[in-house]
Amino acid sequence: MGGLTAGGAIFPRLKALGVDYVFANSGTDFPPVIEGVTEAAARGLTLPRAITCPHEHAAVSMAHGVWLMTGRAQAVMLHTNVGLANGAIGAINAACEHVPMILMSGRTPVTEAGRFGARTVPIGWGQEMFDQAALVREACKWDYELRFPEQIGPLLDRAHAIANSTPEGPVYLSLPREVLCAPVAAEGLDVRPSMRPARAAPDPGAVAEAARWLAAAERPLVIAQRGCGSAAAFDAFGAWAWDWAMPVASWWATHLAIATDHPCHVGADPGPWLAEADVVLVVNALAPWWPDEHPLNPGAKVIQLGPDPLFARAPVRTFPADLALTGETDAALMALIEAMGPAPDDALAARRQTLQDRPAPPPLTEGRLTKAHVAEALGRALGDADSTVFSELGVPLWHLPRRAHLSWFQEPHSGGLGWAFPAAMGATLAAPGRTIVATMGDGSYIFSNPTACHQIAEALGLALLVVVLNNGEWGAVRGSVSQLYPDGVAARTNAMPLTGLSPSPDFVKVAEASRAWARRVERADDLQGNIAEALATVAEGRLALLDIRVSPD
C-alpha cells in the first residue's frame, strides 16, 4: 500500500482502537496530519470522524460527553502548547471524573533548519517549552512524546489501554512536527490492539465481608455520587435498595444512581441518616459528606466502593474506609448485590414502611422564577421521554424528576466551568435520537465560549436545548460567601463585590448569530409554554436556547 505520513497514520490506528471521533483544533503543526488523513481517506482506509472545534475546551468537553453516553474513549488533537493550555481545564474535569480519553497536541519543531518539518515562522520559537506535557501531567495517567514515526501504533495502543484501565482517565501524547512528517508503512494500522486495558475487580473476601455488614445492619445508609456505571447495574441497584430497605442519599450527585422518586431515595442531605447509621456504603463518591456539618456516627463501619475507592490522586481525603472494594462501579456493585442474596422480607418490612412514609417536600411558591421552578417545569415538559439533562449550576436535581440511567449529569467536582454546553453537544453527537438538555448559569454559559459552541452545533446539525438560568451574578460565589460568613458585613448589607455579571449580554442574539431558535423568558406564566416550544424546535432538528431570568432560590 505504500507509506503515509506518521501524522496520517494516527487516524486509522485510532479507528482500530475503537475511537469514533477526533475532536481537533488545528495549527501550524497539523500539515502532516491533514495531508496524511486526506491521503488515507483517498485510499479508502477506515477513519474516525474528524470534528473541527474552534475552541479547545469545547473539544475536550465534547469527548467527555461522548464517553458519558457510549462508554467509549475518544481522542482530542490540539495545537502545540497554547492549544493544550486551553484544553487543560477539560483535562482536569476528565481526570476528576475518571473519564478516559487520548489527548494529543503538536509540539513546535525541534529543529530550526535542514530537516523536513523544521521551523518556518516565529511561533516555532515562541511556542517551544522545556516541558510541554507539564501543562496536563497532573491531570493525566500517562504522558509521552513521540520520538520516531514507527512508534505511532504501539504508543497509541499503550495510551488507549492505560486510559481505559482501572481507574480510567485521560492520557497525553506530544507530537513533534518533524516526526509527524516522516513516512510510515500503511500496512498493519488496522490490526487488533497489541494490549488491552487492565480492569480491577474487588477482592471476593472483602465483598463477602461487606455483604455481611450490610445484611446485619440495623440502620444502613448508602451514599452514591457518580452513578452505577451501567444500565444493568442501575436497575439492579434500585431493586436491591428496595429489597433491603436501604436509604440512598445523593450528596452532590454528578451521575444518577437511583430514580429521584424511588422510595429509598432520601435526597441530597445525608446528615440525619449519617448521624444514626451503623453501616455506610459509599458508592464512588469523592466527597460523600461535609465533615463539619455531617457528623458520622462514631460506631459506624464505612465501606468505600469504586474504581479508586481511596481516590489516591487526591492529596487530602481522609474519609474512613473500614473496607475498600476496588473495581469498576457496575461490576463491584453487582458482586456485592449477588453476595447479599435475597433479603429477609419480614425483618425489613418496618424499615421499608418508614422509607415510604417520609413526608413529601413542601411545594414551591407559585408565581416566581427560580432555578427550582425551572426544574419542575422542565420535568413536566420532558415527561417520560428518553432524555438527558446536563446541569452546570443549572436546574437542581431535587426538583427535576429523573428516573433512568444516563438521564442526569452534573458538572465535575473539579469545577472547570463551561462544561455543560459542549458536553451536551458531545452527547447529542453520540445519541442523536435522544433529547439532550444543557442547563447552566449565565456565568457558566459565558465560560463555555458560546460563540464557538454555537458554531460547532450549527456545523454539525446538533439539535439540543440550551437553558441559561440568568441571575446576573456568580450565584455560587454569593452562596459560598453567605455560607462561610452568615453574619458578615457582605451578607448583612447584601453587598457582594466580585460576583456581579451585569449588564448581562444578550444571549438570545448570541444564539441567533448561529441561526438557533432563541427566546428570553422573564415571567413565570411564560415558562411552560416556551419550554414546550423549545423542545418542539429541537425535535424538528434545530438548536434552541432559552435565556430565563431567575431570582435567587
Q: Using 50, 70 and 90 to split pLDDT, how confident is the model at 472? A: confident
The pLDDT of 374-400, averaged and rounded, is 96
492 has a pLDDT exceeding 70: no
The pLDDT of 409-433, averaged and rounded, is 97
Residue 297: which region, alpha, beta or left (left: phi > 0; alpha: psi -120 to 50)? Answer: beta
Q: Give the pLDDT score at 1.
A: 41
Q: What would you report as the CA-atom Rg of the chain, rounded to the nearest whole angstrom? A: 25
Calculate the CA dihedral of residues 10, 65, 386, 470 and round it to 10 degrees.
Answer: -150
Residue % of the chain over a pLDDT of 70 = 97
362 within 8 A of 544, measured Cβ to Cβ: no
Calculate the CA dihedral of residues 277, 278, 283, 288 and round it to 10 degrees.
Answer: 50
Higher pLDDT, 355 or 494: 355
363 within 8 A of 511, measured Cβ to Cβ: no
End-to-end CA distance of the chain: 64
Asked, colleague to colleague, whether 3-185 and 371-549 share their fold, the answer is: yes
Separation CA 458–CA 448 (nearest Å) = 16
CATH code reported for the domain at 371-549: 3.40.50.970
Return the closest-CA partner of residue 165 out of 305, 8, 328, 11.
328
Q: Is the pTM of this model over 0.85?
A: yes
Whether residue 503 has a cis bond before it, omega within 30° of 0? yes
DSSP-assigned letters across all residues of 514-528? TT-EEEEE-SGGGHH
Question: For residue 286, what is its C-alpha cell?
Answer: 469523592
Return the closest-CA partner of residue 128 out of 115, 111, 153.
111
491 has a pLDDT exceeding 90: no
The β-bridge partners of 78 are 105
Q: Domain 204-356: what homologous superfamily? A: TPP-binding domain (3.40.50.1220)
Task: For residue 364, give the amino acid letter.
Answer: L
For the segment 516-551, what is each residue's pLDDT rounded down to a tens digit?
Answer: 999 999 999 999 999 999 999 999 999 999 999 998
For the segment 264-284, what is each residue's pLDDT rounded down to a tens digit?
Answer: 999 999 999 999 999 999 999
Helix 80-96 / helix 56-70 crossing angle, nearest 10 deg: 30
423 within 8 A of 470, measured Cβ to Cβ: no
146 has a pLDDT exceeding 80: yes
Find all residues with CB under 8 Å of 497, minimum gap 6, and list them.
490
Separation CA 319–CA 76 (nearest Å) = 34
Helix 152-163 / helix 6-16 crossing angle, nearest 10 deg: 40
Separation CA 383–CA 401 (nearest Å) = 8
471 has a pLDDT exceeding 60: yes
Q: Give the pLDDT score at 194.
A: 95
For the segment 15-58, what is each residue's pLDDT rounded down to a tens digit?
Answer: 999 999 999 999 888 899 999 999 999 999 999 999 999 999 99
Q: Alpha-carbon torsion 89, 90, 94, 100, what sign?
A: negative
Separation CA 25–CA 58 (nearest Å) = 10
Q: Give the pLDDT score at 494.
A: 67
* CB atoms closer than 10 angstroms to residue 324: 18
Return the closest-CA partner of residue 21 out of 91, 72, 97, 79.
72
For the segment 288-303, what is each residue's pLDDT rounded down to a tens digit?
Answer: 999 999 999 999 999 9
Task: For residue 343, give the amino acid letter.
Answer: A
For the chain, which residues make up each domain, given as ranges?
Answer: 3-185, 204-356, 371-549
Return the closest-CA partner of residue 100 out of 161, 156, 180, 179.
161
Q: What DSSP designation does 24 have?
A: E
Separation CA 552–CA 479 (nearest Å) = 10
- The phi and psi torsions of 63 (rounded to 5 degrees) equal -60, -40
Q: Using 50, 70 and 90 to split pLDDT, how confident is the model at 495? A: low
2 has a pLDDT exceeding 60: no
The pLDDT of 337-351, averaged and rounded, is 89
CATH code reported for the domain at 3-185: 3.40.50.970
Residue % of the chain over a pLDDT of 90 = 86
Q: Quick one: which H or E segment has residue 52?
A: strand 49-52
SS3 call for 145: strand
